[in-house]
Structure 1
């Protein structure tokens, strides 16, 4: 675990928001504090960063639709905006985890593969499938109308960051003593992590209620199943790698968001 010195003052909600936006987006937010308490609040506030990313992506997609673009182009643009606003870090983590787990090597060797700057065949194929799946699912949502696509994309982005809150809960140890994974590992109390997930699921259901009763169930299911998919990857990564890393955080976020979009597209 990183030796992060304690701060003399307790962290405020604003410190957590700054931590979340400063570490999870490229938005010009200065991280005023970098300590365990700020990390705890920041990981609880991670869904807010996801909401901002989702709304930015929806705005760009909306402009393209107004200009006459089709649903597929709007969906590709939304996916691109999401990648840009996160510096591509989550996608990079997904590719690294795919290479590390796909290698079949022991934990130490798999982590060395993940720390390389290049992307191997497993990572390349995973990125193509995930990005293609996200764009395909979003295109179906935007084909039903901008509002439906915007709501679905925003919910998926929030679910993706909620997976980070769960991954930072107590009992999920860091695989290495350094890096972002170590900085945020086990900072969020278990009850707080699950309570945050429940609030997000209810918020997703509320978003679905804007379009009728059936979407209430579907949007809530997208949140629950998206987080379940992320939890499955988190558990597998923990067994294979010995704990959570920054790459694993990125991978679980992309997994949760993609699974949520797929569930929404099935309707």
Structure 2
């Protein structure tokens, strides 16, 4: 029964975090709340990252340059996720960068139009991931580079849950508020599973030093981003939750590339 519930939460997490098709039976009688479901975010991140990781490994095996292989894998990732987290990062950058005060920042983030802060941030975010993946791919075997991408995906989804659970909702009627705050037990499962999955994937293909540095970088940058969101907005939004995933993933990959 416990395994069945976790499988259901994983399926719901995949549906929430990506555009991958999920059978409707997993949503029968479900009210849309994610308070318990978030415990499966790291495992869902692994499954979501498999197509782009396979693309990265295949492109490298077919003698594509590391940079081309990295951009191809990111393109596949964007297709799989529907650029969900990138959209949050862009909106969060516009609001946090251009908002004069809390309400102004929240109003900017709610606007569907992209501003200069958001556009520049997306370009930098994709470029940094591509550069980091390319450097990793230049230093290790194709399968090892793919494992690094999947490990970063698991760690970043766990840290996204941490950001979500640490802050109150900035909007009473926002999407994040309606989805429910992560339960303490679900948060602990997400953090522990994210750590274990990341260690299992990263330690065999990188040094213990590089692995620890990469995970610490993800944790510290997410903590810094969360503290900034607290000061600026007083709480999280759906956009800052998505942005926290991007911050954690970029920090993890960049640290891996630099420490490898």
TM-score normalised to structure 1 length: 0.87
SS in 1 for 2:46: helix
Distance, in Å, in 1 between the alignment partners of 2:6 and 2:142 is 33
Q: Which residue of 2 aligns with 1:256?
A: 248
Q: Unpaired runs of 5+ in structure 1?
A: 1-10
Q: Which residue of 2 aligns with 1:220?
A: 212
CA gap 1:209/1:15 in 2 versus in 1, 3 angstroms: closer
Q: Which residue of 1 aligns with 2:94?
A: 99
Q: Which residue of 2 aligns with 1:6?
A: none
Distance, in Å, in 2 between the alignment partners of 1:70 and 1:222 is 24
Deviations 1:59-84 (Å, cap 9, x if unpaired)?
Answer: 11222223331111110111112222
The answer as to whether partners of 1:15 and 1:41 remain within 8 angstroms in 2 is no
Deviation at 1:192, TM superposition (A): 4.6
The answer as to whether partners of 1:168 and 1:185 remain within 8 angstroms in 2 is no
Q: Which residue of 1 aligns with 2:160?
A: 164
Would you say 1:211 and 2:208 are equivalent positions?
no
What does 1:102-113 align with in structure 2 at a 5 Å threshold?
A: 102-113=97-108
Q: Which residue of 1 aligns with 2:68?
A: 73
Q: Which residue of 2 aligns with 1:202?
A: 196
Would you say 1:50 and 2:45 are equivalent positions?
yes
Greater share of residues in helix: 2
Distance, in Å, in 1 between the alignment partners of 2:109 and 2:154 is 26
Deviations 1:141-163 (Å, cap 9, x if unpaired)?
Answer: 11122022111111111112112
TM-score normalised to structure 2 length: 0.89
The answer as to whether partners of 1:90 and 1:250 remain within 8 angstroms in 2 is yes
Deviation at 1:35, TM superposition (A): 4.1
Deviation at 1:185, TM superposition (A): 4.6
CA gap 1:218/1:202 in 2 versus in 1, 3 angstroms: farther
Higher RCO (CA-CA < 8 Å; seq separation 6+): 2
Would you say 1:176 and 2:168 are equivalent positions?
no
Distance, in Å, in 1 between the alignment partners of 2:215 and 2:192 is 9
Deviation at 1:241, TM superposition (A): 1.4
Q: Unpaired runs of 5+ in structure 2?
A: none
Quote the RMSD (CA, aligned, Å): 2.0
Q: Which residue of 1 aligns with 2:234?
A: 242
Distance, in Å, in 2 between the alignment partners of 1:208 and 1:18 is 24
Would you say 1:34 and 2:60 are equivalent positions?
no
Q: Which residue of 2 aligns with 1:7?
A: none
